[in-house]
Amino acid sequence: MSDLEETSESQPILPQTSNSQVSIFLFLLEVVILLTSIAVVIWLILAPKSPIYIITNVHIPALHGRNSTSHVYVSSVAMNSTLNHTRDPSILLDLIFSNPNKRVGIYYKDIYITLFHCDAHIGSKLLPGFYQGYKNATTYEVLVEANKQFWKEITNGTIDLRVCVENAVKYKIFVSKTKHYQIYTEAYVPVGSNGRMLGKKNIKLHHISNQIKN
């Protein structure tokens, strides 16, 4: 009987530490999986969409003045002013920057606008960056000074302008911000001999790859 008591007393007690560690690990793993799933669902719901750029109007005042057929008497001062204006043509662009996202804001870095005609560079303009709330639109009237070579080459016929807009954006989702995403867009805009935009008035700029941008 004493031998049995000694044998039972000498048996070691199994530690409970390993079981507790496994339970804690499984709990933390479940928490991580749950939080990851929630983050993925939120991202799918609030996946940011690229901003939309639209050209609503284009006007070349110098071209309009040069092709005017109105026979109205003007003074020599006005005539000199008109001639100086045609020698230094400018191009007016009306642009809309639209945020199509729900609950996602957009930070625009500096916006580079470049104009081309027959693959020849006409002029450029830099717009300062800004923040735009969700489901919002911002309108800009952009004045681009065209080079003199462009004015020499254009004729009384239709002019096809290629408008390129390049910039980087950062998306604001709740209180966090994403990294910068580079955006390259372009659109072709026909302009008549009167210096006015032809066809539809709202032309959407389309995304292009970095390899084919100028």
Domain boundaries, the chain: 11-45, 52-212
- Please tell me whether the overall predicted TM-score, pTM, comes out greater than 0.85 for this model: no
Residue 211 has what pLDDT? Answer: 40
User: What values do phi and psi take at 89, rounded to 5?
Assistant: -70, 150
The burial of 151, by beta-carbon neighbours within 10 Å (0-12 exposed, 13-18 middle, 19 or more buried), is given as middle
Q: What is the pLDDT of residues 35-58, one digit of tens each?
A: 888 877 776 677 899 999 999 999
Which of 3.30.70, 1.10.287, 2.60.40, 1.10.10 would CATH assign to domain 52-212? 2.60.40
Q: Which residues does residue 117 pair with via DSSP β-bridges, in sequence order?
A: 120, 161
Residue-wise pLDDT for 156-192, tens only, equals: 677 899 999 999 999 998 888 999 999 999 999 999 9
